[in-house]
Structure 1
Amino acid sequence: MSESSTQPRPEPRSVLVTGGNRGIGRAIAEAFLAQGDNVAVTTRSGGAPDGALDVRCDVTDGAAIDAAFKQIEEAHGPVEVLVANAGVTADTLLLRMSDDDWEQVISTNLTGSFRLAKRAAKGMLRLRRGRIILISSVVGLLGSPGQVNYAASKSGLVGMARSIARELGSRSITANVVAPGFIETDMTAQLPEEQVKAYQGQIPLGRLGAVDEVAGAVTWLAGPGAAYVTGAVIPVDGGLGMGH
């Protein structure tokens, strides 16, 4: 018998990643799949990674969230790890920002994460364990011209996570935030080269991050090594936002 076969394998967990069809969310879902977890991915249009349960869900719709959780629970059991990653932008300067621009971003990024955490907590309380991980942004800490709505939604996740951490900590449920900086995705690939160089000039490490580096922080927070970490904000930004 080989040494590896004698090591007990951890039981696969029921993991939910919202917005997991592309970019950072997809890398996070793939990282959990690589660990052998049972992963569900919610999207509005489909396209989950191979091996993941593909669930259609609009996080601005409370009934759709409840239906998605019921589908996931039937397939994988109660959600033990929630990664609230789904997000949108509607960038424009403050004086041009419409009420709809504001409400769309807040509804998806902040209220959607609240609904997800609330629904996931029901199952976690019964299990007496769970990991809630909210994907924020360095913009939520630094601010950014033209992103008043986005920055507000992403900074709000910090207060949300810390309040959840205090409410649910006695049941072995942790709540943390990961705050990525400028990460190489399809979105950043469309930026002008001069703009990318300007961003790199502000980043102490001098480069954009990789989606796998964000996924690594998320899987660590969800793993046994982070059992005593809650209410934390983990930046993955090359040092751009340090001190905030």
Structure 2
Amino acid sequence: MGDLIVDLAGKVAVVTGASSGIGATVAAALAAAGATVFVNYRGEADREAALSVVNAVEHAGGSAHAIAADVTNESQVDGMFKQVIEQCGHLDILVNNAGIAHSAPIESISLEQFQQVLNVHLVGTFLCTRAVLPHFYARNSGRIINTASQLAYIGAPGFAHYTAAKGGILSFTRSLTLEIGDRQVTANCVAPGATMTPMLADVPEEVISAIRAKIPAGRLAEVDDIVGAYLFLASDAAAHFRGQCLSPNGGDAFL
């Protein structure tokens, strides 16, 4: 995570899909910067992983809580944010990070699979954002950080459903920014390049090697390479960043 110094003392953050991968590391980084972090996970299957993230944060001296909610379920999402605000009195940072992926050519993707990917990435981002906006508007303060992907710009064979969802997140963030106007609430995206997370576990090594060969930095990102963009967008230093997309990708795509 480098030497980026961000002070988030007194802030409260929710990170969706935070039981592993980028979400888990972002949650830990926000907590290390002083925020109280709610580690969102989808259901019982991810509970132990989420509690492990919480334990690691607390062991490092930070403050974290695990909180269950399926981001595609409207009532669960609304209930999650109600619980956070009742428990802490306020919310300052929302990181929309929950996501899933699998690879298949378009002709082999079922309607159910296509809808599932869009629901987790795009509908989840919408539901969580909609749930926090009244609170952010009432306080005239807040940070919304959405996880997109460089693939939203350049596409990827076998990932049409994933790239469509990420492209939707980019467009949603821009429209949201226009609606926010001059309020002191910001909405931005982080679009990571290929990153070593559990999401790549089923990708064949020859595919990983081909991806690596295209990256000027000569390697895929580690999760720690990505976190600084989230920390920056959560900080006071990013107050004039509105509807923007930061892409830590090793030079793989120039956005």
> Partner of 1:14 in structure 2?
12
Match for 2:105 among 93, 98, 123?
A: 93
Question: Percent identity of the aligned residues?
Answer: 35
1:3-53 CA distances to partner (integer Å, 9 max, x unpaired)?
A: xxxxxx764111010000101000000001101101001101323222421
Query: How much has 1:96 moved relative to structure 2?
Result: 1.3
Match for 2:195 among 177, 180, 183?
A: 183
Residues 188, 41 of structure 1: alpha-carbon distance in 2 compared, 3 angstrom cutoff:
same
Q: Which 4+ residue blocks in structure 1 deviate beyond 6 angstroms?
A: none
**Is the 2:21–2:223 contact (alpha carbons within 8 Å) kept by the matching residues of 1?**
yes
Match for 2:152 among 140, 153, 160?
A: 140
Query: How much has 1:120 moved relative to structure 2?
Result: 1.1
> Partner of 1:40 in structure 2?
38
> Partner of 1:237 in structure 2?
249
1:188-208 CA distances to partner (integer Å, 9 max, x unpaired)?
A: 355444332211111111111
Query: How much has 1:78 moved relative to structure 2?
Result: 2.5
Which range moves more in the overlay, 180-189 or 115-124? 180-189
Secondary structure of 1:78's match?
Answer: coil
1:66-116 CA distances to partner (integer Å, 9 max, x unpaired)?
A: 111111112223221100000112431111111101110111110110011
1:202 and 1:123 map into 2 onto residues whose CA distance is 43
When the two structures are superposed, what TM-score results if normalisation uses the length of structure 1?
0.91
Secondary structure of 1:59's match?
Answer: coil
Query: How much has 1:148 moved relative to structure 2?
Result: 1.0
When the two structures are superposed, what TM-score results if normalisation uses the length of structure 2?
0.88
1:99 and 1:119 map into 2 onto residues whose CA distance is 27
Match for 1:202 among 210, 214, 218?
A: 214
Secondary structure of 2:181's match?
Answer: helix
> Partner of 2:26 in structure 1?
28
2:196 and 2:110 map into 1 onto residues whose CA distance is 29
Residues 128, 216 of structure 1: alpha-carbon distance in 2 compared, 3 angstrom cutoff:
same
Root-mean-square deviation (Å): 1.5
Secondary structure of 1:134's match?
Answer: strand
Which range moves more in the overlay, 113-122 or 39-48? 39-48
> Partner of 1:108 in structure 2?
120
Structure 2 portions without partners, runs of 5+: 1-6, 59-63
